[in-house]
Amino acid sequence: MTHFAHTKLNVIDLPLLETFYSNVFGFNAVARTQINEGEYALDEVILALPNLGAAQCQLHLVHYHHRPVPTPGEAVIGFMVEDIVTSVARVEAANGKTMLAPFAVPEHGLHIAFVQDPEGHTIELLQHLSAAAPQ
């Protein structure tokens, strides 16, 4: 294996979640796919962080036209952030929810928080303890 390529998140409202992940975490759309026929008809947007190069892990948001969306909670997406308190506030401002406010986990050297996007998908936010402490 050369690297982890991407995570696909099945969503209901593709434009809503593209806006959420772009505004809250700084992702940019780098590609779009549309398949209009058959059981696997879909709309997909591929998101990536700017300036991280081609080998970075991408987030794919996929809306299948004829398939049910799994119940949120089927996976947890984790993001390392510079400022966990600001990130939680941005999630809430973008109609997401805080599940568990930031807390320290000294044995792992991290602050951790759990939030949800507007459709209820769980996101784990992580910040190194060496960064400024949450207030």
Tell me the average confidence (pLDDT) per consecutive run of 10 residues in the chain, 135 residues long: 77 96 94 90 93 76 87 82 96 97 94 95 92 58
Question: CB 83: neighbour CB atoms within 10 A?
Answer: 16
What's the confidence (pLDDT) of residue 50?
A: 86
Q: Which fold has domain 76-128?
A: 2,3-Dihydroxybiphenyl 1,2-Dioxygenase; domain 1 (3.10.180)
* Backbone conformation region of residue 65, classed left if phi is above 0, alpha if psi is from -120 to 50, else beta: alpha
Same fold, 6-64 and 76-128: yes
Residue ranges per structural domain of the chain: 6-64, 76-128
Task: For the domain covering 6-64, report its CATH number.
Answer: 3.10.180.10
Specify the amino acid at residue 2. Answer: T
